[in-house]
Amino acid sequence: MQVFKFGGASVKNAAAVRNVAQIIKGFSGEKLVVIVSAMGKTTNALEEVVNAHYQKNTQQALDLLAAIKNNHISIVQELMTDANNAVYEQLNQTFRVVEDRLQQGATSNYGFEYDQIVSLGELLATQIVAAYLNTVDIASQWLDVRHLVHTDNTYREGQIQWKTTEKDIPTAIHAVWESGKIALTQGFLGGTPEGFTTTLGREGSDYTAAVFANILESQGMTVWKDVPGILNADPRLVENTVKIPVLSYYEAIEMTYYGAHVIHPKTIKPLQNKGIPLYVRSFVKPDEVGTVVQTELPANTQLPPVVVIKSNQLLVSVFSNDFSFMAEENLSDIYELFAAHRIKTNLTQNAAISFSACIDNTPMRIEALLEALEEDYTVYKNEGLTLITIRHYTPEALEQHTEGREILLSQKSRHTIQMVVR
Ligand code: ASP
Ligand code: MG
């Protein structure tokens, strides 16, 4: 049995959906769980709906939603020529829930509004894929993941309630398999005990797949992507990338932790805990092998320099006002503030009376943190920076990525170097 995850790019239009069906057909007879995320850039588009809704621009929110609807309907029309296909009414109903919410106006809880609306993308994508699979004789059962993946009500970052999730996933999935079908459901979403929708964090569908793989003790999990596997850098940012055929969980979690976008960072732990291999393969060239992430690297593996580039970084420098040392007391105070504002530090360093942290520059989220820090410290900001991380660095790789750049901060261990550059 296998868990497959198809991301937004793999279902971005009618041709892409047909291709996904073709791939699934190649595994007919196997016990499959197929996790699908929202089509193309739908989640970004829905975020704009949320923002308009939250700012009480109801008409604008409805117009933005109508554009999303047109886009989905035109994909369905291309896939399913029968105008009486039940999927049309199903999609109308799914849209209506959000349309009604927009009409009602927003509560003051942004995260709550976000999750109730943004979740639409995954619901639509899976309803469309399920309907299409039926027309090409792939027997699938659509499941509402919000009844299977239980979370607390930390909106936009739902924390999985493992006890109930571990009970409900196997029951539902085994029933589907017994009926000879494949199980098809949404990534990224969860449900609270009160029946509200949560999301697991942007790009969280990989994590959903890993949760299913863990709980079902799957033989493997495959993420189908538009790249041939895990590369040593993002090909959009770095030239001459190479594919890494085998990675260990440890190497993979380090890469994702530093910001490599190949898979969601939370994906590795549930797989590692049960020793489930992760395959990253191309949906464009499904016959090629891709990358496998497993417990150990084969003996004598020499990994290439792995480069992770994060742009739009902010360097926050915090100074004590009274020349007191930046020792445990001040540091724990500062870290507590970061934690309380849920701001992740990408790199930190401290000196006698100062502390520096490189963080993602997300103005909406960091303003409150900066204000809180300013109550007790003097705070300086440097914007527009890039964080470069190189694992297994070589002199050549260092030279290539720092040439002509000003290095504001750097940190080096035996295997990894990180530099904040302008
Ligand atoms: N559709 C969601 C997003 O774009 C989840 C995912 O793609 O994994 O963030
Ligand atoms: Mg996506």
CA 190 to centroid of ligand 1, rounded, Å: 13
**Ligand 1 binding pocket mutation candidate from 37, 185, 212 (most atoms within 8 A of CB):** 37
**Tell me, what DSSP letter sits at residue 313?**
E
Report whether pLDDT(365) > 90: no
CA of residue 45 to ligand 1 center, whole Å:
12
Provide the pLDDT confidence category of residue 363 given band limits of 50, 70 and 90: confident
H helix or E strand, kind and range, residue 316: strand 306-320
Query: Model's pTM, two decimal places?
Result: 0.91
Take atom 7 of ligand 1 and give the residue whose Cα is closest. 203
Q: Which of 91, 89, 57 is nearest to 71 (CA)?
A: 91
The pairing of strands 377-391 and 354-360 is unpaired
Name the pLDDT band for 94 (thresholds 50, 70, 90): very high
**Ligand 2 center–CA 72 separation, angstroms:** 15
d(C-alpha 194, C-alpha 309), whole Å: 40
CATH superfamily to which 2-294 belongs: Acetylglutamate kinase-like (3.40.1160.10)
Dihedral pair phi/psi, residue 74, rounded to 5° = -70, -30
The whole-angstrom separation of Cα 38 and Cα 46 is 10
- Give the model confidence (pLDDT) of 223-278 as tens digits: 999 999 999 999 999 999 999 999 999 999 999 888 888 899 999 999 999 999 99
Q: What is the pLDDT of residue 262?
A: 87
Mean pLDDT of the residues in the chain: 96
Q: Which ligand is nearest to the CA of 47?
A: 1
- Give the angle 390-268-147 at the CA atoms, nearest 5°: 140
Read off the tokens for 348: 């930190």
Is the CB of residue 196 less than 8 Å from the CB of residue 153? yes
- Residue appearing with tokens 């459901």: 185
Q: What is the pLDDT of residues 128-156, one digit of tens each?
A: 999 999 999 999 999 999 999 999 999 99
Q: Is the dihedral of CA 379, 385, 389, 393 positive or negative?
A: negative
Distance 183 CA to ligand 1 centre (A): 19
Stretch (H or E) spanning 318: strand 306-320
- Strand 189-191, strand 197-199: pairing: antiparallel
- Cβ neighbors of 70 (< 8 A, separation 6 or more) are none
Residues whose CB falls within 8 Å of the CB of residue 372, separated by 6 or more in sequence, listed in order: 337, 340, 341
Q: Could you report the per-residue pLDDT of 294-352, keeping only the tens digit for each? A: 999 999 999 999 999 999 999 999 999 999 999 999 999 999 999 999 899 999 999 99
Residue 235 or residue 200, greater confidence = 200
Provide the token pair at 190.
Answer: 């969860």
Q: Per residue in 213-225, pLDDT tens?
A: 999 999 999 999 9
CB 42 within 8 A of CB 125: yes
Q: Write out the H or E segment, with its range, that includes residue 210.
A: helix 205-216
Instruction: Please identify every residue whose CB atom is under 5 Å from ligand 2, which is an ion.
Output: 8, 37
Q: Which string of b and e fits 332-353 if b means at least 16 CB within 10 Å? A: eebeebbeebebeebbbbbeeb
CB neighbours of residue 180 within 10 Å: 10
Contact 292, 219 (CB under 8 A): no
Binned at pLDDT 50, 70 and 90, residue 159 comes out as very high
- Where are the domains positioned within the chain? 2-294, 306-421
CA distance 54 to 114: 9
The answer to whether the CB of 40 is under 6 A from ligand 1 is no
Q: Contact, 28 vs 20, CB < 8 A? A: no
Alpha-carbon distance values, 110 to 157, 158, 200, 202, 252 (Å): 13, 14, 15, 15, 33
With beta carbons less than 8 A apart as the criterion, state whether 127 and 94 touch.
yes
Task: Please classify residue 15 by burial: count the beta carbons closer than 10 Å to its beta carbon, then call 0-12 exposed, 13-18 middle and 19+ buried.
Answer: exposed
Question: Which listed ligand is nearest to 205 at the C-alpha?
Answer: 1
Same fold, 2-294 and 306-421: no
- CA-proximal residue: ligand 1, atom 5 (nearest): 203
Q: Which CATH architecture has domain 306-421?
A: 2-Layer Sandwich (3.30)
- Which pLDDT score, from 0 to 100, does residue 336 have? 97
* Averaged pLDDT for residues 37-55: 98
Q: H helices within 295-418, ranges in order? A: 328-340, 363-374, 395-402
